[in-house]
Structure 1
Amino acid sequence: MKYFWKNLFCVSKNDVQKRSPTTRNTSNGFSWHTCRHNESAANIKDFTSLPVHIQDFLYHRHCRHFPMLLDVPDKCGGADGSAEVFLLLVIKSSPENYVRREVLRKTWASERLHKGVWIRRIFISGVAQAGYEKKRLNKLLELEHREHNDILQWDFKDSFFNLTLKQILFLEWMERNCPQAHFLLNGDDDVFANTGNMVEYLQSQEDNNVTKHLFVGHVISNVGPIRHTGSKYYVPVQVHESESYPPYCGGGGFLLSGYTAQVIYKMSKSITILPIDDVYMGICLAKAGLAPFSHMGVKTAGLYIPSSKLDAHDPCYYREVLLVHRFLPHELYLMWQGIHDPTLKFPGETFVSRVKYQFCGL
């Protein structure tokens, strides 16, 4: 079977043409073409000493346009109707994470009207790596999409080093299909997100003006690339020469305005892709002269519990937060049910307002 990108694990054109009407090979900004690897990358100093996945990244770093396999062009009610979407949940998910997606659909990512405004949901994904497993997982996403109408999938290898590509392709889709959405939650599929609290926080912002900059989460600053080859986040000088990164929000989850999303996409067109997606967003913000801001309710490094004698998953600790990373699917389901239990007691000050930690039962 002939493939159109070497080493990018793309499905064949014939396979996509045989797909059901729920999938599509769009001509609206995407087309079947050859994205050949950049031969000159091999001339980079010490290229052959780099890990294979980094060599592959450098060969294909310039590739930004891939066919859509699954699309939801009407998710926001069309471009003209997208102003009705107050909070769009943009959830990064890999094809194999079926259980996570199903739990999120039943919990914090449920599409609903909250406090008079609409919350909508989209999962964004690439394709599994290769072979029969790839075919099965693509079929799985197709079946999910047929039932829930909530998946965007592009024909590129879904991997950690392609997360930035996933973000850019989504922002391109948003510009075309959902340009007037007020706010976005950009997050992973293993976070606990209190989306009701997010709506109320966003509604509290001055004038609730979608044309203003907003980018909030857990800000990370005064750090630079990890040069240790054994790290998942290893970035050699051949990929990023500078020893520092601009401030950025941890990629587990952050909130941004529709305006800021459009600015990031505009900046991305002239910024070389960096494989660490949250850092890349920070670079785009910095180029636009904008900055990320911290919110104490976003805990992408987890929620600090001061004693091992306390239950770290007691719902009373989580009722007032915005987002906490990381959760297993069953933990997410239980936590969502727990924070909505009308009998749940939360004595003392709330998480957001208190200066000192005061926990349930203390």
Structure 2
Amino acid sequence: MDFSCRNCCLENQERNSPNMKKKIKVATTRALIAFILIYIICLPFRRKIDDGFQSHYRLVQSYIDSGLIPRPRTISPSCINNGENVFLLIMVPSTASNFAQRNAIRKTWGHISNIPPIVKLKFVLGKTHTSQLQDFVLTENLLYNDIIIEDVPEKYENLTQKSTAILRWTVSNCPRVRYLLKIDDDVFLNLPRLLKYLSKHPQTNTVLGCLVSHSSPFRSIFSKWRVSWDQYNEEEYPEYISGPAYLISGDVLYKLYQSTKHVPKFMFEDVYITGLCRRHIGALAKSHAEFSCGYRDKGPCGSNFLYEITGHHYSPKEVQRMWSELQNRWSDCRLVDSYFVYRVIDIFKWIFL
């Protein structure tokens, strides 16, 4: 009896095996076709992103040239009285093509920074070899007068140079500011909460943000972030503050900039500025739980930031919507902003967009 049953099972497996293979092939083919179709459908939307800002700034430039929009008076980028009355200077590293990110900041958390003399906002750009793009940036600055262009080529490898340029500009133009916040242009900022915290908890001799401890360099030759022993000869990095957003107390700005002339340059700007250079001058690296340590570690919903200061890597549209939600105390998060749903959506965007 057992023998016959075993034979029946074997016969069934042999009959089902071709069917299973066929089903797997059909499912794989359908998935591949769906992938290609969705990619083709999404592709035109990717191309329209560039067309949008080009047409917009061409139009603005034509209005300025024709006199429909008056050219604003040239205002000195320096702070009045060396920034003595500036409570917080916000410096945003940005690339030339990130028009949408800068506009989103101006419309949201950066808008209230126009209230003098407490807070000032500046975008820091490097040099681009595309003359057309450079013209667009100059047009943008004619309108907003909030852009600093440094002689640093726009490359990821040059982020350390750009951060050093931020310190240099601040020391030269606003040396008496109370605090300097360096924040990337894809970071959501609850600025009122940060200002409230600093007014209640003054900081000195400090770099404040998400503290990273006991971090070791990647030594594998297969790693994109590989650091050789010649580039860095210690087992661990010093404690440093994660790069998307960190706050520097004004009393150490000059010393921190001077240290960049003595500490050898390093490829990771946060390790370099807030780790190596900070350690060189004996300043403190302080942790603040409301500074984001992760990559989109909260859903893109303003209500998620009622008790947070920063969140990393949000799109311009998300930033604008989140800011509006943050202002409305009765606002609720949408279903698509729940953790698992927006993670799936993020994966979909990463694949197709």
Shared topology, TM-score over 0.5?
Answer: yes
Task: Give the corresponding residue for 2:21.
Answer: none
**Deviation sequence 1:183-231 (CA, Å, 0-9, x none):** 11111100001111111111112xx47xx21211111111122223454
Q: For 2:75 and 2:237, how far apart are their aligned partners in 1? A: 35
Distance between the aligned counterparts of 1:303 and 1:95, measured in 2? 23
Per the alignment, do residues 342 and 223 of structure 1 end up closer, same or farther by CA in structure 2, a change over 3 Å counting?
Answer: closer
Conservation of the 8 A alpha-carbon contact between 2:92 and 2:185: yes
Show CA shifts across 1:109-145 (max 9, x none): 225367x9622111111123x4xxx112211211111
TM-score (norm 1): 0.67
Alignment partners' CA distance in 2, 1:105 and 1:314? 19
**Map of 2:249 onto structure 1:** 257
Asked if 1:319 is matched to 2:306, the reply is yes
C-alpha contact (below 8 Å) 1:216/1:295 kept by paired residues: yes
Change (3 A) 1:73 1:271: farther
Partners of 2:192 and 2:88 in 1: CA distance: 10
| 2:318 maps to 1:331 | yes
- Residue 287 (structure 1) aligned with residue 288 (structure 2): no
Distance 1:279 1:103, change over 3 A: same
- Which among 199, 218, 240 is matched to residue 195 of structure 2? 199
Whether the 8 Å contact between 2:296 and 2:313 is mirrored in structure 1 is no
Query: Partner letter of residue 279 of structure 2?
Result: A
Q: Give 1:278's aligned amino acid.
A: D
Paired position in structure 1 for 2:126? 126
Kindly name which structure, 1 or 2, has the bigger radius of gyration based on alpha carbons.
2
SS of the aligned residue for 2:152 comes to strand
State the distance in 2 between where 1:279 and 1:302 align: 18
SS of match in other structure, 1:112:
helix
Partner of 1:268: 260
- Structure 1 pair 93–230 and aligned structure 2 pair: CA distance change class (3 A): farther
What RMSD, in angstroms, separates the aligned Cα atoms of the two structures?
Answer: 2.2
Residues 1-362 of structure 1: pairs in structure 2 closer than 5 A: 74-78=76-80, 80-112=81-113, 118-128=118-128, 130=129, 134-205=130-201, 208=202, 212-281=204-273, 282-302=275-295, 304=297, 312-344=299-331
Q: TM-score, normalised by structure 2?
A: 0.68
**Stretches of structure 1 lacking an aligned partner (at least 5 in a row):** 1-71, 306-311, 347-362
Output the CA distance in 1 between the equivalents of 2:146 and 2:152. Answer: 19
Letter in 1 for 2:88: L
Structure 2 CA distance, aligned partners of 1:320 and 1:76? 33
| Aligned AA (1:172) | R
CA displacement at 1:73 relative to structure 2: 7.8
Q: How far did 1:291 drift?
A: 2.3
> Partner letter of residue 74 of structure 1?
S
* Cα separation, 1, equivalents of 2:312 and 2:210: 11
Q: Is the 8 A contact 1:73 1:177 kept in 2?
A: no
> Match of 1:351?
none
Cα contact 2:242–2:293 (8 A) shared by 1? yes
Partner of 1:32: none
Contact kept in structure 1, 2:113 and 2:121, CA below 8 Å: no
Instruction: Determine helix, strand or coil for the equivalent of 1:163.
Output: helix
Q: Which amino acid aligns with 1:285?
A: R
Measured at CA, do residues 81 and 173 of structure 1 come closer, stay the same or move farther in structure 2, by a change above 3 Å?
Answer: closer
Aligned residues: 259
Contact 1:95 1:126 in 2 (8 A): yes
Residues 217 and 298 in structure 1, CA contact (< 8 A), matched pair in contact too: yes
| TM-superposed deviation, 1:146 | 1.1
SS at match of 1:219: strand
Per-residue deviation, 1:314: 3.3
- Flag the 1:75–1:195 CA change in 2: closer, same or farther, 3 A: farther
Q: Give aligned-pair identity as a percent.
A: 26
Unpaired stretches in structure 2, ≥5 consecutive residues: 1-73, 334-353
- Distance in 2, matches of 1:186 and 1:231, equals 27
Equivalent AA in structure 2 for residue 245 of structure 1:
Y
